[in-house]
Amino acid sequence: MSEQGFDYVIVGGGTAGGVLASRLTEDPIIRVLVVEAGPDHRGLMNRVPAGVLGLYQAGTLHWDYKAKPEEHASGQVLPYKMGKIIGGSSSINSMLWTRGAPAVYDGWAAEGCTGWSYDDIEPLYRRIERASVPDDQVMGQSGPIGLTRGNPSSSPLNEAFLEAAQQAGHPLTENYNGPIQDGACVLYRNTDNGERSDVYRGYLEPARKRPNLTIRCNTAVERIVFDGKRATGVEVMIGGRREVVTAKREVLLCAGAIASPQLLMLSGIGNPAALTPHGIPVQHELPGVGKNLHTHPAVRVAFTCTKPVSLLRWTKPPLKWLAGIEWLLKRTGAAATNHMDVAVYARTDPGLPFADAMLDFTPLVLGRDNSDGSIEGFAVYMELVSVKSRGRLELRSSDPRARPVFGFNFLEDERDLTAFRTGVHMMRKIVGQSAFDPWREAELDPGADVNSDDEINDWIRRTVTLSHHVAGSCRMGAADDPQAVVAPDLKVRGLKGLRVADNAIMPFVTNGNTHAPAIMIGEKAFDLVRESRTAG
């Protein structure tokens, strides 16, 4: 690789990096190298929507990180799975399409992130989307990512949830991706004609035919190379040999909210107090690297069902096999969906600027490790999508192969525990409505005997888990923000030729699944890079 001249080197061929690679190489004179640590893999399960659980359990396709014990969550050691594959987490995630509330992006702008208000980024979403509902006034119609509206009638339990939510006071909202997010809703998923529609299929696959795009998989970047304060390339490990690959214009760091700050630190960028104990020379002092780490914590309430109408029967032979055969022949049926069709967005405090609770309904009770369940039942998951507690990431050593040390500090802020407690009452209230009378049997989680604040708090601490929506560890901010790692143009502060473009740059995480925002960040980064190039 060292003999080739590249204008841009993209570190990470995942969600945002794949978008950048595709967009930049639309100009035939621009040469781009993508360096991806994961395999160049595109198996059948990456295409089958119902295969999502199998992908999470396939250890070769994701970084199987483990956070350090959560002090305020009963010492739990929580797993975090991030895509280790061409296309990144876009190739293995649950396919829920959630832009996030307009007030989230306006909040970013209010914190000094000029150019990131909802009015600024809404056209980017329209550029990305290709909605299956032709008269939809909210979604884009001709983008590379196909979107399908969920089907509540696929299960009587889905229909019961929508009706019960309205009975409990949550009005039906037509499209939660529009100006009004709060309420009961039918979810959108990024599937197209019964197949996963992801960054690989929509962006990278067509771009790979271009002679000006080079993709190197199974290749680890060990550090960023500098000439003074300018990034000039990356050092990579190939077949046991280290090589330096140069970037004539910029290095674009798209390795995700765990690996991006880790790579900055390994390159001497961060808090000197965190670098010098590992013998890493300080290239540039930026105290915010690795701080502000957070994600959406989650709990669930679960119930047994009076009748065998859940998805349990579809998780086992012979129906599981029949669903697979139907998908192979027609791309329809139970395997052509992620089975996440309905939800509620709500505020645990009416004074909040946007919904902080996403209540996802599933007509199935899974094992705690997301394995196939064995109980005829249903569950409501509450994701706390506006979390106050913050964690941090640090190096374990100067060895790039050593996993970093990180934790989320879940429930350290008492407001998060209060919000969860309110959410538990919300979920119980919904399931307690008359619409569920034909189906509701016994409460499994937290259990009918868990009622007082102390009992609910204890249950939350013991059972809280995480959503795979990690963000914030290289936060974007104004010039006078001492913790900001990147400016609104995504350039690393105080350095040249280096940007971060992934969910690490979020000042605070969007209030929903972060797949769509990651793609948007890739599109925004492309616009910013193009503007710099045309400006000379």
pLDDT in tens, 262-278: 999 999 999 999 999 99
pLDDT at 40 over 50: yes
Please give the pLDDT value at position 374.
80
pLDDT at 502 over 50: yes
Helix, strand, coil content of the chain in percent (nearest 5): 30, 25, 45
Please give the pLDDT value at position 419.
99
Provide the β-strand partners of residue 450: none
Check residues 178 and 42 and name the one with the higher pLDDT: 178
pLDDT at 11 over 90: yes
Task: Say what the pTM is.
Answer: 0.97
Report the C-alpha gap between 326 and 395 in whole angstroms: 48
Alpha-carbon distances, residue 524 vs 10, 124, 169 (angstroms)? 15, 7, 37
pLDDT at 4 over 80: no
Helix, strand or coil, per DSSP, at residue 505 = helix
Q: What is the mean pLDDT of the chain?
A: 95
Please give the pLDDT value at position 12.
98
Residue type, 95: M
Those residues whose C-beta lies under 8 Å from the C-beta of residue 505, and which sit 6 or more positions away, are: 474, 475, 476, 485, 486, 490, 521
Please give the pLDDT value at position 3.
45
Indicate the pairing of strand 269-270 with strand 284-285. Answer: parallel
pLDDT at 2 over 50: no
Please give the pLDDT value at position 226.
98
Sign of CA dihedral 174, 177, 179, 184: positive
Helix, strand or coil, per DSSP, at residue 456 = helix
Q: Which of 62, 284, 339, 469 is catalytic?
A: 469
Q: Would you mind telling me the total number of residues written for the chain in this entry?
A: 536
> Which H or E element spans position 237?
strand 230-238
pLDDT at 508 over 70: yes
Report the C-alpha gap between 398 and 266 in whole angstroms: 6
Report the C-alpha gap between 16 and 200 in whole angstroms: 11
- 469 is known as an active-site residue: yes
pLDDT mean over 524-532 = 97
Report the C-alpha gap between 533 and 7 in whole angstroms: 11
Query: Taking the mean position of all CA atoms in its chain, how far away is CA 66?
Result: 17
Indicate the pairing of strand 269-270 with strand 220-227. Answer: unpaired
Confidence of residue 53 (pLDDT cuts 50, 70, 90): confident
Name which of 5-19, 40-54, 191-205, 456-470 the model is least confident about: 40-54
Report the C-alpha gap between 130 and 146 in whole angstroms: 5
232, 235, 239, 240: CA torsion to nearest 10: 150
pLDDT at 15 over 60: yes
* Cα angle: 105, vertex 382, 94; to 5 degrees: 75
pLDDT mean over 46-54 = 88
Please give the pLDDT value at position 1.
47
- The structure tokens listed for 216 are 């190197």
Start-to-end CA span in the chain (Å)? 27
Sign of CA dihedral 167, 170, 172, 176: negative
- The structure tokens listed for 101 are 């509330």
Query: Judging by beta carbons within 10 Å of its beta carbon (0-12, 13-18, 19+), is residue 217 exposed, middle or buried?
Result: middle
Name which of 123-132, 369-378, 472-481 the model is least confident about: 369-378
Please write the tens of the pLDDT for every residue from 350-378.
Answer: 999 999 999 999 999 987 655 556 889 99
pLDDT mean over 181-210 = 97
What φ, ψ does residue 135 adopt, rounded to 5°? -100, 15
What CATH topology corresponds to 151-186+297-384+411-463? Cholesterol Oxidase; domain 2 (3.30.410)
pLDDT mean over 380-389 = 98
Task: Work out the percent of the chain whose per-residue pLDDT is above 70.
Answer: 97
What φ, ψ does residue 138 adopt, rounded to 5°? -100, -45
Confidence of residue 449 (pLDDT cuts 50, 70, 90): very high
Report domain extents, the chain: 151-186+297-384+411-463
Residue whose entry in the numeric block shows the structure tokens 């868990």: 450
- The structure tokens listed for 511 are 């209030």
Please write the tens of the pLDDT for every residue from 132-150.
Answer: 876 678 999 999 999 999 9
* Pair 63, 245: CB distance under 8 Å: no
Confidence of residue 112 (pLDDT cuts 50, 70, 90): very high
pLDDT mean over 140-168 = 97
pLDDT at 484 over 90: yes
